[in-house]
Chain A
């Protein structure tokens, strides 16, 4: 009799452990990855590496945060990468140094960065609005809608790129380079601006998702569009807004990416959307909608950067990284599904 009671208790415990493991699986994966890398190469554990990883994650995170909101609404955005590219090229042409002999718009003087940000973010908002309109009003499945706009935006970007000379746009104004590559001295160490931008974007998104009406509506629309409609949520408007917001995020990311790399071509941003979507999915943002956390997205992005940076650091053949990345995507979603399916 006593034994059976004990057995029962242990059963409950193991169930709890399992639940905990399923719930915090991705954080564990990130942690384990880092542990394995450190075990293999103890020098990995340094502020420099830590900072590098965060810096390399920053732009990706901003893109991923943009696409995450769309995934929450049962959507997806294949045009994200091309939007980043468009913004990068536009920013690059507007922020070349006045002393650059190859300046594509020689008559253009110094434009304040904030103005350029305004311009590209506006363009991004417009692209997002078009996506949103096609999805919310014309009721085209997001996959198809953004597949179309992905191709169109690439076309537009290439035409523009052709017009400005069809060669990489470089030779940026010093302020721009500093804006993207510089860092803030806080005494003990220097924090790259990129990390600061990404942090601001993350906090902004977290507050938006968790503390505002728009955020809650987003999850309602993603979780059960029917219920949201009946309750008076303007579903069309919510969808429009989330695509517009994403477009603005990609645009800002594009500007940073151009500044970070130091040049831009029409091919910049190619396939970035897949990395962003993968990070969201690994981070627990469900494709079936209505589920997702900002901290999950952050973790998802970090996992991929750690794989890239860390495994290169310890000398793993880069081709292996593809296989590991792919496995992690599939495993993460399989685990996520396990959370929601009951055994019979």
Chain B
């Protein structure tokens, strides 16, 4: 069974944690025990209670019952700062840094070393340098944080945790925007932390990583503790089954769409402001799902942006039904039947303070104009109802603020919004990022249904399994160029990985 030996001493013990919000039991008697020298994966669908549990640990929420022990001593942090001072730190998913300031200012923020009245810059620099050397981080402590890559920023965050002598480091989706190589570097650092004796709580949706990096795994579902096991000997399917609580034998729906004639031809597309895409040529068929694979920085999104008129072209042609079109800006692209679901849902996809009705109809307002040029509520309500029904959005009403829905439901509203514009070519950029397994399945189902209705779909994704699971062909990008277009049925992960590195 591989159950963890009870006698082992834990670094962090969270016992019987419960947290209630009005009307909801967010956590019900949940346990989490972290051994020293270990990476502990914390898994569960969105809304399973992972972040609530962490918020209870960091004192952002106060728990209703249960006890937390650090090194055998009971603790009850009131703030993240107190947790940090006691050696419990968090590397956030949305990195929390002062972008305008330099690296060392960020690391020592809140506890600058002083020499008399003034800050001791030299000590700051040297201490930062020492930690960077130990962790093998190649960043100048004097660089402005805003100029760093996401991966470098993350390493700075980890270094900050180390500078606090953290024993417990919580990492929330640390690889969600890293390249393969950066992920390897991160794992190297995680291993170093493990060697130092740290316990690492690793929150991720990516099954493949769990096997690779973690020692133990705890699974939550609907606020309940399901199991804690050693990772060795547990299969991905078992994990998924525990997470969703139903036998999800397939992570992907049945693929029964049939690609037809070519609708979109792109030839020699090169962006004006480099580095970006160069000489992109491909076609897209009716009823086809074309995946776009590549490492972060391979400029996958730039293809969509250039086609959609958000990015200026240097040269190249776009043909829809054999007729050349310009798509100088996104308004023109929408009129030509293109739709684009952006990657940063919170930043560019939803209007989180506004309701579902607004969010559903905003891209299609021309169609709701009545006689006097004013918008007609009845039509908008009807279309919103269509979005909610056909996308299976779980919401109390049309007037609900979209920001209060789960990520999966937000995404469904965004896709529904674009479908209202009756697009022929639907472009999706990381459509399942940060969405739980169950909702992912529904999004895949939706994509296949749309393909069956003769839409052409382009999907950029960083998740290999979903590319292989739902697409018909995969276009592999490498450093701004096409490294190859492969047939999904006959390709392998290895072939795609090889191609992504072709022009590096």
Contacts and interface: CB of A to CB of B under 8 A. Distances in A.
Interface of A: 207, 211-213, 216-217, 219-220, 222-224, 226-233, 289-291, 342-344
The 7 nearest A-B residue pairs measured at CB: A232-B81, A231-B110, A223-B98, A232-B110, A290-B100, A231-B109, A223-B100
A230 B312 CA distance: 40
B21 interface: no
B446 to A, nearest CB: 29
A213 B114 contact: yes
Q: Secondary structure of the A side of the interface?
A: helix
Contacts of B311: 344
A223 B101 contact: yes
A343 B96 CA distance: 25
Given A212-B119, A216-B119, A344-B310, A223 B110 contact: no
Chain B interface size band reads 20 to 34
B69 interface: no
Contact of B96 (A213, A226, A290): A226
Contacts of A232: 79, 81, 84-85, 110-111
Given A211-B119, A219-B101, A220-B101, A228 B273 contact: no
A343 B273 contact: yes
Interface string B66-107: 000000000000011100110000000000111111000110
A213 B81 CA distance: 17
- DSSP class of B's interface residues: helix, strand, loop or mixed? loop
Nearest to A227: B96
A219 B109 CA distance: 10
A291 B105 CA distance: 14
B110 A233 contact: yes
B252 interface: no
Interface of B: 79-81, 84-85, 96-101, 105-106, 109-112, 114, 117-119, 273, 305, 310-312
A39 B314 CA distance: 44
Nearest to B311: A344
Contact of A344 (B80, B118, B119, B273): B273
B110 A212 contact: no
Contacts of B117: 211-212
Given A211-B119, A227-B109, A230-B80, A220 B310 contact: no
Contacts of B114: 213
A224 B97 contact: yes
Contacts of A219: 98, 100-101, 105
Given A224-B96, A232-B84, 18 more contacts: A211-B117, A212-B117, A212-B118, A212-B119, A216-B109, A216-B112, A216-B119, A219-B98, A224-B98, A227-B106, A227-B109, A228-B98, A228-B110, A231-B81, A232-B111, A233-B109, A290-B101, A343-B312
24 contacts: A211-B119, A212-B118, A213-B119, A217-B109, A219-B101, A220-B105, A220-B109, A224-B96, A224-B99, A227-B96, A227-B106, A227-B109, A228-B98, A230-B81, A230-B84, A230-B96, A232-B110, A233-B110, A289-B100, A290-B100, A291-B100, A343-B273, A344-B273, A344-B312
A226 B99 CA distance: 12
A289 B81 CA distance: 23
A233 B105 CA distance: 13
Contacts of A231: 81, 84, 109-111
Nearest to A221: B98
Nearest to B92: A230
A291 B99 CA distance: 10
A220 B81 contact: no
B302 to A, nearest CB: 9
Contacts of A233: 109-110
A126 B157 CA distance: 39
Contacts of A230: 80-81, 84, 96
A226 B96 CA distance: 7
A284 B82 CA distance: 36
A73 to B, nearest CB: 12
B168 to A, nearest CB: 16
A33 B129 CA distance: 44
Contacts of A213: 112, 114, 119
A217 B105 CA distance: 9
Contacts of A343: 273, 312
A344 B348 CA distance: 16
Nearest to B117: A212
A240 to B, nearest CB: 17
Contacts of A344: 273, 305, 310-312
Contacts of B106: 220, 227
